[in-house]
Each structure stands twice: as C-alpha cells, then as structure tokens.
Amino acid sequence: MRALLFAWLAIAGQAALAGRASAVGLQPDGWDAGLELSAATDTNPNPRVVEINLEARVARVEIAPGQSVDAWTYGGRVPGPVIRVRVGDRLIVHFRNALPSPTTVHWHGVRVPFQMDGVPGPSQPAVNPGESFTYDFIVPDAGLYWYHPHVMSAAQSGFGLYGALLVEDPDENVGVDDELVMVLSDMALNDSGALEAPDAGGSIANVFGREGSHVLLNGRQQSSLVVRSGAPQRWRIVNAAKSRYFNLDLGGLPFKQIGGDGGLQEYSVERDTLLLAPGERADVVVTPRLGPGETITLRSILVNRGMFTTEGRFPYDDLLTLTGASVEPYSGPPPPDVRRALTPLPRAGATQVDLELTLDQPPDAAPEYGIRGALYSARHKALEARIGETQTWTVTNSTKWSHPFHLHGFFFQVLDENGAPVKPLAWKDTVDIPFERTVRLIVRFDDREGVTGAWMLHCHILDHAEAGLMGAVQVSPANAKGGPAETEDGHYGKH
Ligand code: C2O
Ligand code: CU
C-alpha cells in the first residue's frame, strides 16, 4: 500500500514536470493542446533539485499555420521551455550559447544571489558564442517568473528569447486544478517574413518602443482552447513583449485576479480588463460559461501608454478563442476566496529617495532617456542601500510615455499613484509608471546570501532601457565602514 502510494506520488510528480499543474482537473482531455508549451526536463533524481539543460540557438519556429521564421530560441522553441520548480527547490541550469552573439540569462523577479542575476559585467561575464555557464540557485518565492537575456536585451528578447519559470507552492490552496501558463509576446517581421532589424525606425522608434507586427500567445497567433462550461481555470500570465502592453478583455467575462509578480496578493479583485505592462505577471481565475460550440475571444484592447501610442493602432482581436466543449457543464461550488496575509513594509524610518524618469532631446544627437537622482553617487554612479534598510522611492515620470519600472533582486510594495493608495497589497518587481504621473513604492533590501552588489533598475520597455532608462542600486553590508563597498570600476554594466 505504502509502496503503491509512493509510486503514485512519483508519477504525479512526473506529470507536474511534464507541463501540467495537476493530474486531476475538470476540463476535457486535450482542452489546452492549442496552447501547448514545451517543458524543461529535470535530469536530477533528487526531488528538491531541478537540473536542466538550456541551449540558446537560432531555430525555425512556426508562429501561425504555414508561417515560420528563423527566430532566436531557448531549446528551439518560442517561448523557451516552461521551468517548473517548487518553492525552496534548488534550480541548476546548464546554459549553452549557440547564438551568433554573446548573451546571458536573467531570472526576472527571482531573488537570486547577485552572481546569478545574469547582468553582464557585474554579475558574470557575458556568455560568448560556443560557451556555457551554469546558473545554480535556490528559488525562494512562489509565483510566476520568467527568464530572458540581459545582453542587447531589446534585440534578443524581440527575436524570441524568453520563457516562463513557474515556482509552485504545494501548500497554496487556490482550489483550481486546471491551470495554464500564458506567455504573451510579439515579434517584428519584415516584408519577407524574416526578423526585422532591432534598430528599425531609428532613434525615434526607441523613444516609442518598438511593438512587433505579430502578436503571440505561447508563441502562436490565434490560439485556441476548448473549455468546459462553468469550470474555473487558472491562468498564469506573463507579458514577455519588449514594448507592447496588453490589456486583456474577454468580452465582459471578468478576470478574478488572485496574484501578480511575487505570488498571491492580499485579496482577490474582479477586473473587467487586465492590464499587463512588459515584464509584469498576473495570476487570474476565469470561469467561462459557453454552450457546446459557442465561442468567446481573448483580445487585447488599446492601451494609451503615451503620445501617439493609440493613433492608427487597433485592438488585437485574435489572441485566443475559447470554444465550449460538448460535455456536461460543471456545476460544483466556486473556488474558495483566495487571500494571503501580507504585512505592509513599515514606512517609519524608511529612507526617502526621489527618482525622476526623464527624456532629453539634445539638438544634434539621439534622444536620451534617463533616471535622474539615480546617479547621485559619484563614487558608484548608483543609488546606495545598506542590507536591512528600507527605502521609499518616489518615482516621477516626467516624460510623455509610460514606463514599466523594474528592479532586480528585490520585491517592493506599491504605495500610491499620484497620491491615491494602490490596493491590494502585493509583492511586485515591475510596476507601470504612467506618463506624467508619480508612483511611490517601498522596498526593503533584505538580508540574504549573495545580496551585495549593484542591482539594476530599468524600464522594461527594453528599447527605453537601451536608450538610457536604467540605473542601479549598490547594496552594501550594513556594517561597512566608510561607505559601501567599491564596485570594480564604479560602473554597473551594459543592459
Ligand atoms: Cu526582465 Cu533587467 O529585466
Ligand atoms: Cu520606458
């Protein structure tokens, strides 16, 4: 009996690694075949260690029936394989670069040791073509994270390099077994159907941020899903596009948002539309009610993210079609209300930091984004923080475009936007700072192994980051004498 039970657990564990969240669900067999993602293969027998091989290489991928493109891929697929781990697991990734250019892997949102953060220069040397690098770290927090390069990231992510990292917490009870990982992105193709040059449109396109011509969900256009009416499903969504915002709409069917970047949020919120800026994640439950053969579509409606970002553009109507299956509707109880006890970071004693997001237009040079205030330390050319310190950042966006503001290595809590409190409480690593608005957030530079270093902060419209919207925060030991430890050359590396 015991042996049988263990055998069953082992099989259930395998099933989870093969890409399914759980063995038992309410949906018909094959319901999610149209949204299939490849899954990383764990080669390590230790149940608490997930060890995978990951190769970056150019490969031909099909983005729509009959339409293929030579993309930059992890493991030959766009998106790269979903990596599934449990919170507290050790993740070992044997990464090999078979691209024609140097690269790294950055684990977006994961509180990794600094040496594993994938920023070329400060964290690690860039991985040159033909070279390898092993990433090895404990995954400390449940949630949906993702991975992408940090070398010429606008170009490389735009070419197809991104994948999801799902950190599951076996003790988390959301009461929904049918789960989908959704990677939203886009890809810019030229008239001959090949990858568009990443600098197409010149410096003015940097100012806007380039949106790809082909909108993708799990690497495909016009995906499909077969659903059992009345059965709740959990969608774990990441916006991996380099510039495009997604504002998801299911024709009035609400999204019940239960979490975001850093796992579950304080309490759930019903949303008619779901906005994801580049880099952000959402954890939502949707419950479609559809007769057999009846359909609804998931679309992305227009987002005003600044000057000339809606003119001449159209909603994207064809992300995903949900079709009612010919099965008995589900009439069981709705899933339980999901809550998470989160404590607001104490504001008393927090160091105040003012940051301004700027755009300068020198008369005879390319426009340049910047973070003013960030470079106030001549010594480090970075913000400074001590381990254990809490800081309140007032981020004012003085430009005419919105900026998804991302901090490496730490979660923050968003306090307010233009003075209006932001609720519910949640851990974030990326927050949209709308144009001409001010967002306040609070961050604690928690003590943990390998936390010392110059952690990046930047806009996740990657064209903006490369046009200058980036900085770093130098985190130093609490007891360091005579100022924070010196970085090698007072320089925090190229994005
Ligand atoms: Cu998603 Cu600096 O990165
Ligand atoms: Cu930006």
Q: Which residues fall within 8 angstroms of residue 190, CB to CB, at 6 or more apart?
A: 196, 197, 200
Q: Is 279 in the pocket of ligand 1 (CB under 6 A)?
A: yes
Listed in order, strand segments (DSSP E) in 188-314 are 214-217, 223-227, 233-239, 246-249, 255-260, 263-271, 273-276, 281-286, 295-300
Q: Is 111 in the pocket of ligand 1 (CB under 6 A)?
A: no
Protein residue with its CA nearest to atom 3 in ligand 1 = 108
Q: Is 464 in the pocket of ligand 1 (CB under 6 A)?
A: no
Which atom of ligand 1 lies nearest, measured to the CA of 465? Answer: 2
The torsion of the CA quartet 361, 363, 365, 367, rounded to 10 degrees, works out to: 10
Q: How far from 242 is each of 75, 206, 464, 474, CA to CA, in Å?
A: 20, 11, 10, 26
Q: Rounded to an integer, what distance in angstroms lies between the CA atom of residue 478 and that of residue 132? A: 34
Q: Is 81 in the pocket of ligand 1 (CB under 6 A)?
A: no
Protein residue with its CA nearest to atom 1 in ligand 1 = 108
249 touches 299 (CB < 8 A): yes
Q: Rounded to an integer, what distance in angstroms lies between the CA atom of residue 64 and that of residue 222? A: 8
Q: Is 20 in the pocket of ligand 1 (CB under 6 A)?
A: no
Q: Which ligand is nearest to the CA of 461?
A: 2
Question: Angle 224-164-403 (CA atoms, 0-180°, nearest 5)?
Answer: 95
Q: Which ligand is nearest to the CA of 402?
A: 2
Output the tens digit of pLDDT for each of the chain's 495 residues.
333 333 333 333 333 333 444 446 999 999 999 998 999 999 999 999 999 999 999 999 999 999 999 999 999 999 999 999 999 999 999 999 999 999 999 999 999 999 999 999 989 999 999 999 999 999 999 999 999 999 999 999 999 999 999 999 999 989 999 999 999 999 999 999 999 999 999 999 999 999 999 999 999 999 999 999 999 999 999 999 999 999 999 999 999 999 999 999 999 999 999 999 999 999 999 999 999 999 999 999 999 999 999 988 888 888 999 999 999 999 999 999 999 999 999 999 999 999 999 999 888 889 999 998 765 555 557 899 999 999 999 999 999 999 999 999 999 999 999 999 999 999 999 999 999 999 999 999 999 999 999 999 999 999 999 999 999 999 999 876 544 444 443 333 333
Q: Is 242 in the pocket of ligand 1 (CB under 6 A)?
A: no
The CA 436 to ligand 2 mean position distance, Å, reads 12
Which atom of ligand 1 lies nearest, measured to the CA of 430? Answer: 1
Q: Is 120 in the pocket of ligand 1 (CB under 6 A)?
A: no
The CA 406 to ligand 2 mean position distance, Å, reads 10
Asked if the peptide bond before residue 79 counts as cis, ω within 30 degrees of 0, the response is yes
The CA 312 to ligand 1 mean position distance, Å, reads 29
Beta-bridge partner residues of 41: none
Q: Is 108 in the pocket of ligand 1 (CB under 6 A)?
A: yes
Q: Rounded to an integer, what distance in angstroms lies between the CA atom of residue 381 and that of residue 153? A: 22
Q: Is 458 in the pocket of ligand 1 (CB under 6 A)?
A: yes
Side-chain half-sphere CA neighbours of 464 within 13 A = 30
**pLDDT score recorded for residue 316:** 86
Q: Is 228 in the pocket of ligand 1 (CB under 6 A)?
A: no
For 420-432, give one letter per residue: b (16+ CB within 10 A) or e. eebebbbbbbbbb
Asked if the peptide bond before residue 424 counts as cis, ω within 30 degrees of 0, the response is yes
How many other C-beta atoms are found inside a 10 Å radius of the C-beta of residue 26? 17
The CA 153 to ligand 1 mean position distance, Å, reads 8
Q: Is 299 in the pocket of ligand 1 (CB under 6 A)?
A: no
User: For the chain, what's the residue count?
Assistant: 495
Q: Rounded to an integer, what distance in angstroms lies between the CA atom of residue 396 and that of residue 404? A: 12
What is the three-class DSSP state of 185? Answer: strand
For 289-298, give one letter per residue: b (16+ CB within 10 A) or e. ebeeeeebeb
**pLDDT score recorded for residue 489:** 38
> DSSP letter at 27?
S
Which atom of ligand 1 lies nearest, measured to the CA of 456? Answer: 2
Q: Rounded to an integer, what distance in angstroms lies between the CA atom of residue 407 and that of residue 409? A: 7
CA nearest 238: which of 322, 163, 350? 163
How many other C-beta atoms are found inside a 10 Å radius of the C-beta of residue 373? 18
Could you tell me the pTM of the whole model?
Answer: 0.92
